[in-house]
Amino acid sequence: GTWCPLNMSQQAVNGVSHRGKVLTLDSMNPNVKRVEYAVRGPIVQRAVQIEKELKEGVKKPFTEVIKANIGDAHAMGQKPITFLRQVLALCSYPELLEDNMFPEDAKKRARRILESCGGHSIGAYSASQGIECIRQDVARYIERRDGGIPSSPDNIYLSTGASDAIVTMLKLLVCGEGRSRTGVMISIPQYPLYSAALADLGAVQISYYLDEDKCWSLDVAELRRALNAARQHCNPRVLCIINPGNPTGQVQSRQCIEDVIRFAKEEHLFLMADEVYQDNVYAEGCKFHSFKKVLFEMGPEYSSTVEMASFHSTSKCYMGECGFRGGYMEVINMDPEVKAQLTKLVSVRLCPPVPGQALLDLVVNPPQPDEPSYTTFMKERTAVLAALAEKARLTEETFNTVPGITCNPVQGAMYTFPRITLPQKAIDKAKEEGQVPDMYYCMRLLEEEGICLVPGSGFGQREGTFHFRMTILPPTEKLKVVLQKIREFHLRFTQEFS
Amino acid sequence: MKQLEYVVLARRVSQIKEELRQGVRKPYKEVIDVSWGDPHRAGLKPLTFVRQVLSTCLYPELMNSNRLPADVRQRAQRLLGGCAGGSVGSYTATEGIPEIVHSVSEFITRRDGGVPSDPENIYISPGSQWALTNILNVLVNREASTRTGVLTPMPCHSATTLGIMGLGGVVVPYYLSEEQGWELQVEDLHQALESAKGVCNPVALYVINPGNPSGQVQSRKSMQEVIRFVSERRLFLLADEVYQDCIYGENSEFVSYKKVLTEMGPPLSDTVELASFHSASKGFMGECGLRGGYVELVNLDPAVLKYIKTLFSTDSCAPVLGQLALDLMMNPPQPGDPSYPLYDMETQHIRTTLVHNAKRAVSVLNSLQGFCCQPVEGGAFAFPRVYLPPKAIQKAKEVGMQPDTFYCIRLLEEAGLLFSAGCEYGQKEGTHHIRFCIMAPEDVMEELLKRLTSFHTQFMKEFS
């Protein structure tokens, strides 16, 4: 590059002799500047700073920061599942296979996983698509889950968390220029990985609103409205749906899933079904229906034509093993030439972390009733899911007693996304401070109570409405305290700006 | 993007492994896979201390007994202290567990003889290629009217070139001089820039030292020339240094680009923008599968750094075991620690093995008619030139393969050796190469060289 930096003359004016940077705000990829990710954004950075201050002895109205911003169960005290960690320890240091501290079924699984690794080590690269026998196990798990509908290991791609696979798929799907640039439908509210990826790829975001008054359900009429409007300025090709939902927690009904599939077929859209919370279903009358299962039950007219990718992960459900970055996607009805491109794309990052792959293998291959670890495994799993269900209920119940906070039932996933009514004076004050109103609210809550939430503006919401996302993950006793503090804060805040 | 050559080989190797499992008779009992830079795959063992600590972190019950040495338990305790909820299953800060990021910066300072390193400029990522892709994403402007170019060596390993192309960038190759041990000569950098005129806007120079696939270790002088070049031509310097612990040549020494840059003093040391990459995948640990790497950013515009941080945040964080592996790499057992004697023995053994392998492979290859291999001073591979007879090239054409892929397929079928073909990496028109990993146990290397010798002699005779 022999072009001159834009700030060169300014520096010359200042008498500074050194030259401007090669990589500047002007020369850098403009798409990257549009990327935001609220879950780890400014409020979290302030929370980390406050934690530092507390450590240094600065006096505050609280003694710890409660990070209810991120879906991280272990960080909030949830214990890992014993069986999973036993097998992983054995894989990590196979000498332990000689140790009678570990049950036989754990050893058997460890040996099998090690057998499938290069040099019998979890430190060897795997194939970019993931270890073959683990993909086979994942395919069998999907078949069992979906009542026998066949799944091919060739259509399974292991990934570094579900996020990696989601971004990879979007990379593959986004193309075109100007009016023919790919449009991607995402829900409002949504998990901001999607909006971040679309910004990064320079894709067109097509927002469809979930219906807050109907428990955040999805309405095909709304999909149609959004799509038709979008056709004016882009080429819509993809429809993303998160079920169970994040941040909203709704579990879609079977009818709704059918309607979405029908819509995707009619409008020739690629379906991306984010199902990472599939085990996190709490509400009476709610059930997880996999998109693939519903697709196939709709008959060959749909099951042989609709192109789809579904995503799962080891970060949520009962395992909560976020730090392993384990996940997979299953692709359905993908064009073979596109698959070849996908294979090339995944090779750039070499391979997903092998411990994450091993962990996934255990999730799809848990202890069976006749195995020694079964009882403990089931007890632990049930306890985790029951605790989450109880916390979901407690959260909804408590927030709905607060005037100015309305909370939909937390049917599934790990979050609550209540709507907050903000006095006009508070909205004005936020403007003065140069912040969006719910960010202002959340920042005040952080400074006054040491509770870190994510403002609804980070996920998207209807104009003029405000929300926050809180995880339901803190231990029950702590959660009660958090809910109480938020209640008190909200009343104080409303009072202050009345 | 053209079809990846190794897919052809990978497919066939799966079939062969299955055939062997079913008892089909072949001239060999097992396939020796040296197609990746993967020490464990080739048979080298993980370091005991590392695996003991990791298993304890995974299953902290192991701390409640004396089965593992005291320093293992202490290290695990310290590392778990840096994990939220005391679990390796929690997310971490985007840039990595703060204590580990500090370890990395302290390591860099020690390695570079005191040159300060700011933890704020370090990001731990799922392997170094991941971090490289993120930095390239910031550099490559897909919206610009002229495409962005990145100078890369020819030959170069394909993950980087595919990464550049995948982001919509243009690969601008600069030739390495094979006859001078794959040396980087600054004239070739100038040549590359020339070739980019009217084609793209070059913004960065990617250099890998020690090399991949070439086994070259850059001299200080050459590195200074590169630094001067990027400064004059206003290029961002991407220095891939993952093989820095793999040095074999008697007269070879690794010095980091950051150190050389610092030694050159201002204005260069204050202005040249540099990203350097390292990883736990290579060296003595060879923990490729754990995906632990990092990037250190030097002299970047603070405004740009903010956006880089946000970009990394969308990946959440690097896998925790990979982060722990980095810490263990930066802070190995010290003399006096209970684990030190074993650690020392294991690493010395690996070092001796690799130095031996590097020499032996080059010597055997150069003793064979039709091979010419430059000295393997460092890195993970031997990358000999193969002088294929015209009849073999003809045959390859007939079966629709690149000539060196054809050689590799025959090598796989007849000798059970999985190498990779030079055409994957880029090479001068009319030349052919093969690449194989030399990070393997000595007996595996001997067996490999024996089979290769036998096959090669036979092959050359067949097509004479």
Return the CATH number at A441.
Answer: 3.90.1150.10
Quick check: is A101 in a domain? Answer: no
Residues linked to residue A157 through DSSP beta bridges, in sequence order: A329
pLDDT at A19: 62
Same structural domain for residues A349 and A395? no
Distance CA A400, CA B48 (A): 55
| Domain presence at residue A249 | yes
Q: Shortest CB distance from A40 goes to which of B67, B203, B313? A: B313
Please answer whether residues B280 and B326 qualify as being in contact, where contact means their C-beta atoms are separated by less than 8 angstroms: yes
Rounded percentage of chain B residues whose pLDDT exceeds 90? 94
- ipTM of this predicted structure: 0.96
Closest of A1, A199, A76 to residue B149, by C-alpha: A1
Identify which of B130, B141, B287 has the shortest CB distance to residue A29: B141
Helix B48-58 vs helix A82-92: angle between axes, to the nearest 10 degrees?
180
How far is residue A353's CA from residue A123's CA, in Å, rounded to a whole number? Answer: 9
Chain A interface, mutation test: which of B316, B320, B329, B339, most A Cβ atoms within 10 Å? B316
Based on the domain organization, do A119 and A229 belong to the same domain?
Answer: yes
Instruction: Check whether residue A240 and residue A200 sit in a common domain.
Output: yes
B138–chain A Cβ distance below 8 A for any pair: yes
Interchain contact, B303 vs A25, CB within 8 Å: yes
Is the CB of residue A238 less than 8 Å from the CB of residue A181?
no
Integer Cα distance of B339 and B70 in angstroms: 9
Using a CB–CB cutoff of 8 Å, tell me whether A253 touches chain B. no
Q: Please give the residue of chain A at the shortest CA–CA distance from B55.
A: A89
CB contact, 8 Å: A275 with chain B? no
Choose the closest CB to A121 out of B1, B10, B40.
Answer: B40
Helix B320-330 and helix B70-81: axis angle, to 10°?
A: 130
Asked if the structure places residue A81 within a domain, the reply is: no
B437 backbone dihedrals φ, ψ, rounded to 5°: -80, 135
Residue A491 sits at the chain B interface (C-beta within 8 Å): no
Residue of A200, A349, A473 to mutate, interface with B, max B Cβ within 10 Å: A349
User: At residue A11, does pLDDT exceed 50?
Assistant: no
| Window 83-142 of A, Cβ < 8 Å to B | 85-86, 88-90, 92-93, 96, 99, 101, 117-119, 121-127, 132
Residue type present at position B213: P
**Average pLDDT over chain B, rounded to an integer:** 96
pLDDT at residue B4 in the model: 63
Q: How far apart are CA A325 and CA A160, in angstroms?
A: 5
CB distance B455 to B411 below 8 Å: yes
- Give the residue from A340, A364, A388 where a domain finishes: A364
Helix axes B320-330, B98-111, angle to 10 degrees: 30
Q: How far is A114 from chain B (nearest CA, A)?
A: 12
**What number is the average pLDDT over the span A40-60?**
95
Check whether A98 has a pLDDT greater than 80: yes
Strands B293-298 vs B434-437: parallel, antiparallel or unpaired: unpaired
A29 DSSP assignment: -
Answer with the one of A364, A386, A421 that is the final residue of a domain: A364
Unique residue bearing structure tokens 């695990």:
B76
How far CA B441 is from CA of A119, A161, A174, B367, B447, in Å, comes to 11, 34, 45, 22, 10
Whether the predicted pLDDT of A454 surpasses 70: yes
How crowded is residue B185: how many other Cβ atoms within 10 Å of its Cβ?
Answer: 15
Please answer yes or no on whether A96 and B55 come within 8 Å at the CB atom. yes
Residues of chain A in contact with residue B83, where contact means CB-CB under 8 angstroms, are: 323
CB contact (8 A) between residue A23 and residue B203: yes
User: By CA distance, what is B84's nearest residue in A?
Assistant: A75
Residues A175 and A299 in one domain: yes
In a domain, A302, yes or no: yes
User: What H or E segment, with its residue span, contains residue A491?
Assistant: helix A476-496
Q: Residue A373, SS3? A: coil
pLDDT (0 to 100) of residue B315: 93
Closest-CA residue of chain B to A67 = B84
Domain count, chain A: 2
Same domain flag for A350 and A390: no
Please say if the pLDDT value at position B2 is more than 50.
Answer: no
Residue ranges making up the domain that contains A162: 107-364
Please report, as a single letter, which amino acid is at residue A247: P
pLDDT at A15 over 70: no
DSSP annotation string for B15-72: HHHHHHHTT---SSSS-EE-SSS-TTTTTPPPPHHHHHHHHHHH-GGGGGSSSS-HHH
A329, A396: one domain = no
Angle formed by the axes of helices A104-115 and A82-92, nearest 10°? 50
Express each pLDDT in B34-65 by its tens digit. Answer: 999 999 999 999 999 999 999 999 999 999 98
A40 and A168 co-located in one domain: no
Answer yes or no: do B321 and A355 touch at CB < 8 A. yes
Q: What is the pLDDT of residues B398-457, one digit of tens each?
A: 999 999 999 999 999 999 999 999 999 999 999 999 999 999 999 999 999 999 999 999
| A139 bridge partner residues | none
- CB pair distance less than 8 Å for B314 and A355: no
User: Other CB atoms closer than 10 Å to residue B146's CB: what's the count?
Assistant: 11
Instruction: Give Cα B130 to chain centroid, integer Å.
Output: 13
Same domain, A323 and A222: yes
A270 plus A214 within the same structural domain: yes
Cβ distance A323 to B319 less than 8 Å, yes or no, reads: yes
The H or E element that residue B295 is part of is strand B293-298
Of B38, B85, B316, Cβ closest to residue A125: B38
Surface of A (276-335) touching B: CB under 8 A: 319-325
Contact state of B55 with A74 under an 8 Å Cβ cutoff:
no
Number of inter-chain CB pairs under 8 A, A vs B: 263
d(CA A343, CA A360): 20
Both structure tokens of B333: 């057992």
User: Residue B276: enclosing H or E segment and its boundaries?
Assistant: strand B274-279
Residue A343, SS3 per DSSP:
helix
State the Cα–Cα distance between residues A256 and A243, nearest whole angstrom: 11
Asked if residue A405 and residue A352 are part of one domain, the reply reads no
A35/B311 touch (CB, cutoff 8 Å), yes or no: yes
Other CB atoms within 10 Å distance of the CB of residue B461: 9
Looking at the structure, do residues A360 and A384 belong to the same domain, yes or no? no
Task: Sort out which chain B residues have CB atoms less than 8 A from A25's CB and list them.
Answer: 301, 303-304
* B323 close to B98: Cβ distance less than 8 angstroms: no
- Structure confidence by residue, pLDDT tens digits, B126-145: 999 999 999 999 999 988 89
Q: Which residues of A touch B203 (CB under 8 A)?
A: 1, 22-23, 27
The answer as to whether A443 is a domain residue is: yes
Q: Is residue A349 located within the same domain as residue A446? A: no
Question: From the CA of A88, how many Å to the nearest CA of chain B?
Answer: 7
Answer yes or no: is pLDDT of B458 > 80.
Answer: yes
pLDDT in tens, A193-227: 999 999 999 999 999 999 999 999 999 999 999 99
Question: Is some CB atom of chain B closer than 8 A to the CB atom of A169?
Answer: no
Task: Specify if A354 maps to a domain.
Answer: yes
Contacts of B279 (CB under 8 A, 6+ apart): B127, B128, B242, B292, B293, B294
Each residue's pLDDT tens digit, B203-242: 999 999 999 999 999 999 999 999 999 999 999 999 999 9
CA distance A89 to A347: 28
Residue B250, C-beta contacts closer than 8 angstroms, at least 6 positions apart: none
The candidate with the shortest Cα–Cα distance to A332, out of A302, A312, A356, is: A302
Backbone angles phi, psi at A283, to 5 degrees: -75, 145
Structural domain contains residue A10:
no
- pLDDT recorded at residue B178: 97
> Considering the entire predicted model, what is its pTM?
0.95
DSSP string, B191-228: HHHHHHTTT-EEEEEEEESS-SSS-----HHHHHHHHH
Residue B11's pLDDT band, with cuts at 50, 70 and 90, is confident
Q: Which domain-ending residue is among A308, A336, A364?
A: A364
> What is the rounded average pLDDT of the residues A351-360?
98
Kindly state whether residue A12 falls inside one of the protein's structural domains: no
Give the pLDDT of residue A18. 45
Can you give B406-454 as a three-state secondary structure string? HHHHHHHHHHCEECEEHHHCCCCCCCCEEEEECCCCHHHHHHHHHHHHH
Which A-chain residues 183-242 have CB contacts (< 8 A) with chain B? 193, 196-197, 200, 202
Distance (Å, rounded) from C-alpha B114 to C-alpha B107?
A: 10
Q: List the single residue in B4, B52, B271 with the smallest CB-CB distance to A344.
A: B4
Q: Is A350 on the interface with B (CB under 8 A)?
A: yes
Here the CATH number for the domain that contains residue A176 is 3.40.640.10
Q: Do A28 and B319 touch (CB under 8 A)?
A: no
Average pLDDT over residues A45-49: 96
